[in-house]
């Protein structure tokens, strides 16, 4: 079983320079490989696999203009190629968008697939002098498989440590408490566990920092391009975004852990967030709540526990159906927060009623599919997201580098 932990790094000036050079080389190699794949497909109608892309690397290291690639740890460039081929495979299997070129001004990263050693108070990284100081707050018993170094736009360094542990993946157990969750904007989450309903407020992180962000962005806009003062102003803006992101992640982690610790089966709607953000009136609010990230947190925490996440159809009329008599109203506008069932005259809170119906529909799916089908995935967890780490190529048909004029 693979487990990962993210730690903060505190490199000195010399170590930071070396890390920046490595991440810059990986970024350049990613863009070169992506451009090579695009041009090859346009010319031949075929893609390039990992070995075909790596075929060009030794030649580039010998050329005068790109001789600086030799200063980068070679395994980092190999890992970049692997990540590129995985990005293509995710695109072709409709799990992700087409790979994009990486920018100097966004988050930087480099993966070390081997030879990184844990030391007291830090990490020993290949081609980096000394031990890079790190705040390692948690370790797993097992082999350290890879380390991904990243630099955020606000100038902070992090390391993601991936361990292969001896822990067996727990089998899915569906006996236990079942909770239904209705996600919203007025309240972030409304839950019902069969006994009581609970509401969790929407923290509205962006609204809290909007004035501060606007003020710093206005200062940034007045700075001259390329100046040191502009770089300082850019970091101030990046710090505001980082503060929002950290607060949002902290809230989502704490809430998802609370729900998973107290329940064995979690049932939520499979929301079409991509389509919902096309509504320009609600796009900012929908992006701020991060429903997709919250569902991902629930998913991996349940997997580690042996629980089950059930995603019900997005078209299921959870709000318009009476949870008491199952009568369905024809229309229920968003501004209507409470309504009375015309059939049984039960007074409903819109969100609590939806959470009750979501839970009931999830239980119905489990009973129809059967315990084993639900545990294996079946139709309960639809295909989506990214696959686990695999050694694979982006396309079945591959153009050989010799056919493109490469040296062999």
Give the model confidence (pLDDT) of 167-188 as tens digits: 888 888 888 899 999 999 989 9
Residues 308, 305: Cα–Cα separation, whole Å: 9
Radius of gyration over every alpha carbon of the chain, rounded to an integer in angstroms: 25
- Give the residue-averaged pLDDT of 21-35: 96
For the chain, domains (ranges, CATH) are: 2-168+391-404 (no CATH), 178-202+242-376 (3.30.420)
Residues 59-77 as b or e (16 or more Cβ within 10 Å = b): ebbeeeebeebeebbebbb
Q: pLDDT tens across 334-374, in order? A: 888 898 999 899 999 999 999 999 999 999 988 887 643 34
- Give the residue-averaged pLDDT of 38-52: 92
Could you tell me what percent of the chain has a pLDDT over 70?
Answer: 90
Active-site positions? 182, 269, 351
293 contacts 253 by C-beta, under 8 angstroms:
no
CA distances to 158, 186, 327, 406 from 145, rounded to whole Å, are: 17, 43, 55, 33
The helix (run of H) or strand (run of E) holding residue 178 is: strand 178-183
CB atoms within 10 A of CB 89: 18
Our CA angle for 45, 46, 47, nearest 5°, is 135
N- to C-terminal Cα distance for the chain? 40
When pLDDT is cut at 50, 70 and 90, the band that residue 27 belongs to is very high
When pLDDT is cut at 50, 70 and 90, the band that residue 273 belongs to is confident
pLDDT at residue 395, as a whole number: 44
pLDDT at residue 402, as a whole number: 53
117: left (phi over 0), alpha (psi -120 to 50) or beta: beta
pLDDT at residue 379, as a whole number: 37
Q: pLDDT tens across 212-236, in order? A: 999 999 999 999 998 999 999 999 9
When pLDDT is cut at 50, 70 and 90, the band that residue 384 belongs to is very low
| Strand 265-269, strand 178-183: pairing | parallel
User: Using CB atoms within 10 A of its CB, is residue 161 exposed (0-12), middle (13-18) or buried (19+)?
Assistant: buried
pTM check: above 0.75: yes
- Give the residue-averaged pLDDT of 258-265: 94
pLDDT at residue 388, as a whole number: 38
pLDDT at residue 125, as a whole number: 95
pLDDT at residue 390, as a whole number: 36
362 contacts 14 by C-beta, under 8 angstroms:
no
Q: Is the pLDDT score of 1 beyond 90?
A: no
pLDDT at residue 263, as a whole number: 93
Q: Is the pLDDT score of 391 beyond 60?
A: no
Q: What is the mean pLDDT of the chain?
A: 88
Q: Is the pLDDT score of 149 beyond 70?
A: yes
């Amino acid at each position: 079983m693979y487990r990962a932990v993210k730690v903060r790094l505190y490199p000195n000036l010399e170590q930071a320079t070396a890390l920046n050079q490595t991440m810059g080389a990986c970024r350049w190699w990613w863009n070169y490989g992506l451009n090579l794949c695009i041009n090859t497909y346009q010319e031949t109608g075929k893609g390039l696999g990992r070995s075909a892309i790596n075929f060009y690397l030794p030649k580039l290291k010998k050329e005068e203009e790109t001789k600086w690639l030799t200063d980068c740890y070679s395994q980092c460039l190999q890992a970049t190629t692997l990540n590129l081929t995985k990005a293509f495979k995710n695109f072709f299997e409709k799990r992700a968008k087409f790979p994009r070129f990486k920018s100097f001004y966004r988050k930087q990263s480099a993966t070390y697939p081997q030879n990184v050693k844990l030391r007291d108070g830090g990490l020993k990284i290949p081609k980096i002098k000394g031990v890079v100081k790190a705040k390692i707050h948690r370790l797993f018993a097992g082999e350290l498989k890879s380390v991904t170094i990243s630099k955020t736009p606000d100038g902070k360094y992090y390391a993601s440590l991936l361990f292969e542990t001896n822990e067996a993946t727990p089998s899915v157990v569906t006996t236990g408490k079942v909770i239904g969750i209705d996600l919203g904007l007025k309240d972030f989450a409304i839950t019902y566990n069969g006994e009581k309903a609970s509401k969790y407020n929407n923290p509205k992180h962006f609204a809290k920092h909007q004035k501060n962000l606007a003020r710093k962005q206005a200062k940034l806009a007045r700075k001259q391009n390329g100046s040191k003062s502009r770089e300082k102003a850019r970091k101030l803006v990046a710090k505001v975004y980082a503060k929002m992101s950290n607060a949002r992640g902290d809230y989502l982690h704490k809430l998802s852990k609370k729900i998973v610790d107290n329940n064995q089966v979690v049932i939520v709607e499979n929301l079409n967030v991509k389509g919902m953000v096309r509504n320009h009136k609600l796009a900012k609010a929908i992006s701020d709540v991060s429903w997709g990230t919250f569902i991902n947190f629930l998913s991996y925490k349940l997997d580690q526990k042996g629980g089950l996440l059930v995603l019900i159809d997005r078209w299921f009329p959870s709000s318009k159906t009476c949870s008491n008599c199952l009568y369905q109203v024809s229309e229920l506008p968003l501004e209507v927060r409470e309504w009375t069932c015309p059939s049984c005259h039960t007074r409903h809170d819109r969100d609590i009623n939806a959470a009750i119906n979501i839970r009931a529909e999830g239980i119905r799916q489990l009973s129809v599919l059967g315990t084993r089908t639900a545990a294996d995935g079946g139709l309960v967890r639809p295909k989506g997201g990214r696959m686990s780490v695999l050694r694979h190529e982006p396309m079945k048909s591959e153009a050989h580098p010799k056919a493109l004029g490469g040296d062999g």
